[in-house]
């Protein structure tokens, strides 16, 4: 299991080039296992969105359903 810090989580989701190759490899090596984030990271991201300091990618309903199916199939 790997736990991502808030800014690393944001950079990972957005494909930010600030992530080092070492960090990318470390995260990718845990994608089939477990990648965690803390509850406070969720709160921090909510605040960033609330104050228009962060825009989250918006998925279609179909993409959300596909992701949800994949998530539950992996358990």
Give me the mean pLDDT over the 47-63 stretch.
78
Query: Does 28 score more than 60 pLDDT?
Result: yes
Q: What is the pLDDT of residues 32-46, one digit of tens each?
A: 888 899 999 999 999
Report which of 71, 1, 73, 75 is spatially closest to residue 34, judged by C-alpha positions.
1
- The pTM (predicted TM-score) of the whole model is 0.68
Number of domains in the chain: 1
Q: What is the mean pLDDT of the chain?
A: 82
Q: Cβ–Cβ contacts within 10 Å for residue 9, how many?
A: 20
Q: What is the pLDDT of residues 12-27, one digit of tens each?
A: 988 899 999 999 999 9
Q: Three-state DSSP class for 48?
A: helix
Q: 48: domain range?
A: 2-73
């Amino acid at each position: 299991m790997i736990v991502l810090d808030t800014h690393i989580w944001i950079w990972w989701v957005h494909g930010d080039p600030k992530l080092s190759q070492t960090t990318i490899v470390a995260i990718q090596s845990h994608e089939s296992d477990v990648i965690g984030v803390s509850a406070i990271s969720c709160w921090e991201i909510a605040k960033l969105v609330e104050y228009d300091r962060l825009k989250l990618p918006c998925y279609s309903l179909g993409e959300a359903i596909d992701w949800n199916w994949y998530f539950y199939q992996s358990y």
